[in-house]
Amino acid sequence: MKPTLEELSIVHPNAAGMDLGAEEIWGGVPADRDAEPVRAFGTFTPELQARVDWLVQCGVDTVAMESTGVYWIPIDELLEARGLKPYLVDARQVKNVPGRKTDVLRAACQGLQKLHRLGLLSASCRPEAEMVTWRAYLRHRAELIERRAPHILPMHKALLQMNLQLTQVLTDITGPTGLAIIRAIITGERDPLKLAQLRNPACQSSTEEIGKALTGTWKPEYLFVLKQSVEGYDFYTQQLAACDAEVERLYAVLNPRWEMPADLPKLPPRKFHSHRKNQPAGEVRQAMYRIVGVDLTAVDGLKEASVQEILSEIGTDMSPGPTVKHFASWLRLAPHNDISGGVVLRSRGLKSNNRARQAFRQAAESVARSDNAFGEFYRRKRAQYGPKVANMATAHKIARVVYFMLKKHVPYEAGKAEEYVAKQRERELTRLKRQAAYLGYNLTPHPTATESPVA
């Protein structure tokens, strides 16, 4: 027989519950704390402050909140400022619990209060306050990059409509050579040779090839589209630079999360070809090292931008995840197994919009052709299960490395592909010897056997 809510032990005796909406907030406290234990408040700041004052008067020290969207953020900040501990809970936790809430708002907050009082709810993982501020800047930065990207497509289209085949001689028209040529076109330059002479010395195409590609028609309507597209691109580039300046200013005031020495050592040079146009400006690599105590950009596949995004999402404190398995499961990088009777019926990955998860998957994609341990692991898994599983497995492996670096403050030791192949071969031989012994045979090497890697 299942126990009722009244028969369970109390974990949080001073718990309250809130159901948050866009225009109204319902809150409930223990019945013995107030003559009217359930009240409704508005969402204006004075009303939120009155709500927090009421909770303090009732002796509440922790509040369980259920909300959609971002309605919970203002009340969460007010609760933390007054010393109350907010618990942002997922509606799925309340769904199948005995005595769960109904759809009535009054009963909803009462149900949350009862469940939280009995310790049946767990709080969603949220970084510390400084990390939340950092995360807000970086999420806005990612949105600026997304808004800038659509302005590149009209540039491509306008150039092709004028038969200016710039895309055939340049891999990226928003690079130094491409933007210099496009800006000259906008200002009135039409001579293909003069435009080609704006070529950056690092460009692989010759001046003659670029000159041939820039021989076309010059129609005013397409030039107008090109001009406005470049202006839109430049606007978001300026916004991105301003956002990077704010992030860099924030780095200076963030407190280190480790026992930093008096003289912080300088980091080694960047990895070859590690800089990209969407990477943050300034010395953010050294700044992040000052904060966390390890150089996460040394991990194969991780750049400054991806490390920023990962740290802002997961924070620097790994204690909420007791083990690396919990961390991988929270990122939705661990396989989800449907088990019945101890037998795995199906194994699949769960979908998630976690930004840290996306950054790890991008890092896994970038090492697919690299000559390192991660790249060799990716290629072996791709041969076994396909690219989708290989990407998830490699992202899982990179996430585990980041977890241990942050938890134990140990530097990253890059593994070579040859070392990984040798270890994998040794593990395969150990498995074969064990299997042969189980079947009653001895495994002996063949004198003409080749040293080919094990797939």
pLDDT of residue 101: 45
Q: What is the DSSP string of 354-397?
A: -HHHHHHHHHHHHTTT-SSHHHHHHHHHHHHH-HHHHHHHHHHH
225-273 pLDDT, tens digit each:
999 999 999 999 999 999 999 998 998 888 888 787 777 777 777 665 5
Are residue 167 and residue 84 in the same domain, yes or no?
A: no
Mean pLDDT of 54-76: 87
Nearest one of 118, 103, 126 to 5, comparing CA atoms: 118
Within a domain: 429: no
How far is the C-alpha of 230 from the C-alpha of 152, rounded, in Å?
Answer: 8
Predicted confidence (pLDDT) per residue in 116-165, tens digit: 888 888 877 777 778 888 899 999 999 999 999 999 999 999 999 999 99
Q: How open is the CA angle 275-277-283, to the nearest 5 degrees?
A: 55
Kindly report the pTM of this predicted structure: 0.80
Give the amino acid at 205: S
Q: Does 157 lie in the same domain as 48? A: no
Q: At what angle do helices 220-253 and 129-148 cross, to 10 degrees?
A: 170
Does a structural domain hold residue 237?
A: yes
Whether residue 219 lies inside any domain: the answer is yes
DSSP designation for 353:
-
Same domain as 102, residue 21 = yes
Pairing of strands 336-340, 15-20: unpaired
Q: How far is CA 90 from the centre of its chain?
A: 20
Amino acid letter, 358: Q
Q: φ, ψ for residue 102 (rounded to 5)?
A: -100, -170
Q: Look at residue 106 and tell me if it is in a domain.
A: yes
Same domain, 306 and 233: no
For residue 258, report the phi and psi dihedrals to the nearest 5 degrees. Answer: -155, 170
Closest CA to 124 of 151, 99, 91: 91
Last residue of a domain, one of 95, 117, 139: 117
pLDDT digits (tens, 9 = 90+) for 309-345: 999 898 888 887 789 999 999 899 988 878 887 777 7
Residue 223 has pLDDT above 80, yes or no: yes
Query: Is 197 inside a domain boundary?
Result: yes
Instruction: Give the pLDDT score at 293.
Output: 87
Range of the structural domain that residue 294 is part of: 284-408
Q: CA-CA distance, 404 to 417, in Å (whole number)?
A: 21
